[in-house]
Amino acid sequence: MIIMNLLKNWLIIVGALIMLISLSPIQKLKQQLPEGALRGKWDMLRMLILFFVASYLVFVVAQWNEYVDTSDLIVPFVFFFGAIFTLLTSSLAVQTARDILRITTLEQENITDPLMEIHNRRHFNRRLTEEMNRAHRYGTPLALFIIDIDHFKNVNDTYGHDTGDNVLKKIATLLQDHVRRTDIIARYGGEEIAIIAPETTMEVAEVLGERLRESIANAILVPANEEHPDIKATVSIGIAGIEKTITNNERFIQCADIALYEAKEQGRNRVVIYECTQSETM
């Protein structure tokens, strides 16, 4: 009887310690979460664990010297293995959260241009296919912008590539500030940037294109220092809208490229809309 009583008390005390240990990974997990309802739920779990710990310790104190038989060990064993389950669950939750964060970070890096911190060409191609399929399926408009920085080579040649990189970063930031969260902005290549604008008519796209062009033309992209004056630049923008006859990425991009070419031919620093069909060729 004495041995069984000691076993009962040992099971509950050790179980309580295990449950207290499980609070540590839960706290770490909570710190990784943004403010909101999810944090509150993990706080609630912590409070429930503390409640169970306190309840079972009271149970031990109340029955410390009472003799027990085999059936009386059921509750202590359930509590002990429940504590192990809680520790394993909380530890796995923390590890899973870390793995998800790591995977998300890797995926984000895989689709992000490291210099401009916008999407890269790979992600652009995939999303363009998705948005074209969606536009055809639901009959919604879709606009594609191709933006080129005018005379960007002169910036690199005159002020160096570091300054040129700063110009690219600033323009990317300006574009992000003026597009919707649903728009997809990506580095298309070199100093060219592409924007996919779902559910955007040509009329709306032209207004947006002018707003983008003006915001860049009026901005000081790199402030003056001892090596150079304030650096400004302009952009040429070609815009194409999807038609039912356009069923592949290449033709849609070709239409936007034609519009961009016309913008350059007309003197740069302008927006050109190009209406095209699948049967047209360059």
Return all residues near 132 (Cβ < 8 A) that are at least 6 apart: 142, 242, 246, 247, 249, 252
Q: For the chain, what are the domain ranges? A: 2-110, 121-274
Q: What is the residue-level pLDDT of the chain in tens, covering all 282 positions?
A: 567 777 777 787 888 888 888 888 877 777 776 666 667 777 787 888 888 778 777 777 776 666 566 666 777 788 788 888 888 888 887 788 778 777 877 777 788 999 999 999 999 999 999 999 999 999 999 999 999 999 999 999 999 999 999 999 999 999 999 999 999 999 998 999 999 999 999 999 999 999 999 999 999 999 998 888 999 999 999 999 987 777 788 999 999 999 999 999 999 999 999 987 665 544
CATH architecture of 121-274: 2-Layer Sandwich (3.30)
Dist CA 146 CA 233 (whole Å): 16
240 phi and psi angles, rounded to 5 deg = -130, 145
Give catalytic status of residue 280 as yes or no: no
Q: Given the structure tokens 């955007």, which residue do they identify?
A: 200
49 close to 19: Cβ distance less than 8 angstroms: yes
pLDDT given at position 64: 66
194 close to 116: Cβ distance less than 8 angstroms: no
pLDDT given at position 282: 43
- Cα dist from 189 to 8, 24, 146, 267, whole Å: 70, 47, 10, 22
What is the pTM assigned to this prediction?
0.68
Catalytic member of 131, 191, 192, 206 = 191
Closest CA to 261 of 239, 234, 279, 232: 239
Closest CA to 185 of 111, 278, 87: 111
